[in-house]
Amino acid sequence: MDTYRAIVTKRDTRVYDGRPIPEEVLTRILNAGRMAGSAKAAQPVRLIVVREQARKEALAACGRFTPHVPAAAAVVALVLVPEADQPPGQFAIFRGPFDAGRAAQNIMLAAWEEGITSCPASTHDNDGAAKVLGLPPGHVVANLIALGYPGGADPVTGNRPRMALDGYAHFETWPA
């Protein structure tokens, strides 16, 4: 699948068929996240892959819109590390949330190219999520990404229509 096709056909999917993701495929997906750009090369994002059922359920309990998380074959937690944990000499710029978004999009697109659907999910109980994942103080879960082979309906069809480009993108100034 070419990049543009992956972008325009990828949809958030919350129904999975239960098949595990092969290790080599999961490694490829995680490497795509690792290769996302990072402001000043700070690399403030780390990934935790969760496959244990009880831990997926505990993570889902930390969010408000996460009923799909326990059914995923794997859940990737994008963790922001505090600046003190950055390599020496790095600039004191914390662009973590933006960098986490870049890594998340790479992960979801790489998964889709492998035929694996995904859906991001927020944790609203950050302390609870940190406890579930055993995070050190100061580390924060930026987002979760549920991954799995699609179950049920075709993930590309039946979605809400997108806004037309002429209403979404403007040139030079905001339209009058």
pLDDT in tens, the chain (176 residues): 889 988 988 888 899 999 999 999 999 999 999 999 988 788 889 999 999 999 999 999 999 999 999 999 999 999 998 876 555 544 334 578 899 999 999 999 999 999 999 999 999 999 999 999 999 988 999 999 999 999 976 556 656 788 999 999 999 999 88
Residue 44 and residue 96 in contact, taking contact as beta carbons nearer than 8 Å = yes
Give the helix ranges, DSSP H, for the chain. 3-9, 23-34, 53-60, 96-113, 126-133, 165-168
Question: Which domains are present in the chain?
Answer: 3-155 (3.40.109.10)
User: In degrees rounded to 5, what are phi and psi of residue 110?
Assistant: -65, -40
The reply to whether the predicted model has a pTM over 0.85 is yes
